[in-house]
Amino acid sequence: MIEDLYIQKFGRSPEVIAQAPGRLEFIGNHTDYNGGPVLGVAVDRRVSVALAARSDRQACFRSASMEGEVCVDIDSFAPLSGNESWANYPLGVLKELISAGMPIPHGFDMLVDSDLPAGAGLSSSAAFELASGYGYCGLYEFELDRADMARVGRRAENNFVGMPCGILDQGVSAFGDVNSLVKIDCEKELFSRLTLPDDVHFWVFNTAKKHSLVDSLYGTRHQECMEAHRRMQAPLPQAQNLAQISTAQLSEHQDLLGDVLYRRALHISGECERVLAVESALGKGDMATVGELLFESHESSRVNFENSIPELDILVDALKESQHVWGARLTGGGFGGAVMAVTNGQFGQADAEKIVAAYQEKFGQAATFFHTTTGPGASQGQLSAT
């Protein structure tokens, strides 16, 4: 338990604990920062934090999985680099909450622990941000609703960490629930839940591969989308973002974009249309159609957005040929990472092992996998009774 770990690390008991789940991007790849809709699922694995007040003005961070401590002055801190950069996630949230009016009469010691598999596309960064936010609010008796907490996490990652993400990760971590998908209208930042049918399971296959330029590639795709929208404003000045432009309109004005920008924009517009089609199919309990749309989403990532890699494609192709699999696609930003498979309950360990065996035969190295289910959203936890 994180309380016991906290005592080991800091020599005293925590005053507040909080947790937030990782998330799987169900469908809506890169639509969030383009103002489109997206569907995500909060999983049953999470990041937990524990905090207690200090008597000085220092904020000190420790990790259950690493040695050492990172300390800053809460009255004057800036983004950290190198081995200390992991603390930028809770520091960015702290900065945003201070800006929102949270009082900080004293410093604190924070411990973070996680059972989220590294590099598996579950957005541990957003979970860390949301868990930190709820931990701070518990320690300093400050209140924010779920939507505002998600916005705080997103701003922390944009402004302090320096990643131009949308609100997908933080929104799903905040609003997730058991047996539910989270739908986010990213333009209006509206959050709702869709009920999943019974017997829906998630299997995550992790390639453990990351493109060495993943951060710069993410930023490049962001810039390409902004440029595509800028060019499309000439014929469509009313379109405030790419999500408001249909695939038919893109085709009509393809000459304005050129091949690369057209394909980037086509992925975004197509994803927005697929999200709405998935919502409609879920309303009918039609998981076969949902699965087809997931496969289509991955193909668009491969061809149009070019944020897949051969390792991800091989996994998706193998899953497409497997029984009891409704659909599969890369999950997260892409350029490596993991594939999400949506299956029924008859897909099991032996089936997953066949997938990774095919992967190893192709690439000469193993992929890992795990099974997960839906889980609750971020919250302040309860300390054990003494």
Amino acid letter for position 174: A
Quick check: 246 and 219 in contact, CB under 8 A? no
Quick check: 320 and 294 in contact, CB under 8 A? no
Query: What Cα–Cα distance (Å) separates residue 170 from each residue in 96, 125, 156, 250, 344?
Result: 14, 9, 10, 30, 27
Give the CA diameter of the chain: 69
**What is the C-alpha separation between 209 and 221, in angstroms, rounded?**
19
**What is the C-alpha separation between 127 and 46, in angstroms, rounded?**
7
Determine how many CB atoms are found less than 10 A away from the CB of residue 145.
9
Q: Based on the number of CB atoms within 10 Å of its own CB, is 123 exposed (0-12), middle (13-18) or buried (19 or more)?
A: buried
SS3 content of the chain, % helix, strand, coil (to 5): 45, 25, 30
Helices (H), the chain: 2-10, 88-99, 124-140, 146-155, 168-175, 214-232, 247-252, 258-283, 287-300, 310-320, 349-363
Catalogue the active-site residues. Answer: 169
